[in-house]
Chain A
Amino acid sequence: MAKSGFEDLADQVNRNSALVHRGRFLDVDFLVVDGDTPYWISVREGRIAEISAGQALLRSWAFAIRATSEAWRTFWQATPPPGFHDLFALCKGGHAKIEGDLQPLMANLRYIKEVLATPRTSGLEDHGR
Chain B
Amino acid sequence: MGAEVEPIIGRYVRTQISGQSHRIYFEEAGAGIPLLCLHTAGADARQFQHLLLDEQITEHFRVIAFDMPWHGKSSPPVGYQDKDYCLTTALYSESIRSFCAALALDRPVVMGCSMGGRIVLHLAQAFPDEFRAVIGLEAADHQTPWYDTSWLHRPDIHGGEVCAALISGLVAPQSPEEHRWETLWGYLQSGPGVFKGDLHFYREDSDYRDRVKDIDTEKCPVYLLTGEYDFSCEPSDTLRTAEAIAGSQVEIMEALGHFPISENPDQFRRYILPVLDRIRAGS
Counting chain B CB atoms within 10 Å of each CB, the highest count among A82, A92, A93 belongs to: A82
B231 to chain A: which residues have CB within 8 Å? 82-83, 86, 88-89, 92-93
Residue in contact with A107 in the complex, picked from B157, B170, B174, B228, CB distance below 8 Å: B157
B156 to chain A: which residues have CB within 8 Å? 103, 107
B172 to chain A: which residues have CB within 8 Å? 85
Contact of A85 with B158 at beta-carbon distance under 8 Å, contacts A92-B231, A109-B166, A113-B165 already known: no
Q: Is B169 an interface residue (CB 8 A)?
A: yes
Contact of A82 with B174 at beta-carbon distance under 8 Å, contacts A106-B151, A106-B162, A109-B162 already known: no
Interface string of A107-119 (1 = CB under 8 A from B): 1011001000000
Q: Knowing that A86-B168, A92-B146 are A-B contacts, what are 14 other residue pairs whose CB atoms are under 8 Å apart, sorted by A's residue number?
A: A80-B173, A82-B231, A85-B169, A85-B172, A88-B231, A89-B169, A92-B231, A102-B151, A103-B156, A106-B162, A107-B157, A109-B161, A110-B165, A113-B165
The smallest C-beta distance from B121 to any residue of chain A, in angstroms, reads 23
A92 to chain B: which residues have CB within 8 Å? 146, 231
Q: Is B229 an interface residue (CB 8 A)?
A: yes
B170 to chain A: which residues have CB within 8 Å? 86
A45 to B146, CA, bound (A): 31
Interface size of A in residues (CB-CB distance below 8 Å): 18
Listed by A's residue number, 25 A-B pairs whose Cβ atoms lie within 8 Å are: A82-B228, A82-B231, A85-B229, A86-B168, A86-B169, A87-B169, A88-B146, A89-B231, A92-B146, A92-B231, A102-B151, A103-B156, A103-B157, A106-B151, A106-B157, A106-B162, A107-B156, A107-B158, A109-B161, A109-B162, A109-B165, A109-B166, A110-B168, A113-B165, A113-B169
Q: Is B164 an interface residue (CB 8 A)?
A: yes
Q: Is A79 an interface residue (CB 8 A)?
A: yes
Interface string of B141-173 (1 = CB under 8 A from A): 000001100010000111001101110111011
